[in-house]
Chain A
């Protein structure tokens, strides 16, 4: 079954404590990205990756880092989380960046206190 898997699904953490949200896809997709979804703001892209070792900033990259060492994995790193990063995060993948079906993960609810 085609899947994008994120972990953890729910996390409460404290300001400044580094955390990583993992993302893995089993479809051999080249393109992967991270979004955050906030009430009234919709889905906004944080970072994306066109392929292994190729990453670039999206619309709201401040405070986040990513890496793409393997094709299937695209972790999101919050080096020093702050309360304004409290949000619902989605990892997504597609065959390429051009028109293709985008598959989303189930989401990770992150609360920073």
Chain B
């Protein structure tokens, strides 16, 4: 069964304190892995798509990486406005179904 597990569930960091969020997945034939940002009471907002192991993508203070078993979302020198829930999702070639993880709630303290 295809699965996505995100860790930690919640993370509190001081402003400027870099860290990484983890997304472990099992899927037969990965078409793509996605990262989304979700602010409280709002819809998820697309951040990145990664297609193959070794691929990396960056946007401002965020960098996403992908291996054959997991993806990391690295946050460098975060600011309070980076506080949000970060969702990971995978899509399989087999049926194009997208499976979301439960998310990591990130809180950056000023």
Is A104 touching B44 in the complex (CB atoms < 8 A)? yes
Q: Is the CB of B43 within 8 A of A4?
A: yes
Interface residues of B, CB < 8 Å — how many?
Answer: 21
Contact: B46 with A43, CB < 8 Å? Answer: no
Question: A107 and B96 in contact (CB under 8 A), knowing A42-B102, A99-B51, A101-B49?
Answer: no
Q: Does A98 contact B (CB under 8 A)?
A: yes
Of chain A, the residue at the smallest CB distance from B51 is A99
Distance A44 CA – B35 CA, assembled complex (angstroms): 16
A14 beta carbon closer than 8 Å to chain B? no
Residue ranges of A at the interface with B (Cβ–Cβ < 8 Å): 4, 40-45, 90, 92, 97-99, 101-107, 109
5 more CB-based (< 8 A) A-B contacts, given A42-B102, A99-B49, A99-B51: A42-B101, A101-B49, A102-B34, A107-B42, A109-B41
Residue in B closest to A35 when the chains form the complex, CB atoms: B100
CB neighbors of A among B13-70 (8 A): 31-32, 34, 41-46, 49, 51
Task: Contact check, B31 vs A42: say whether CB atoms are below 8 A apart.
Answer: no
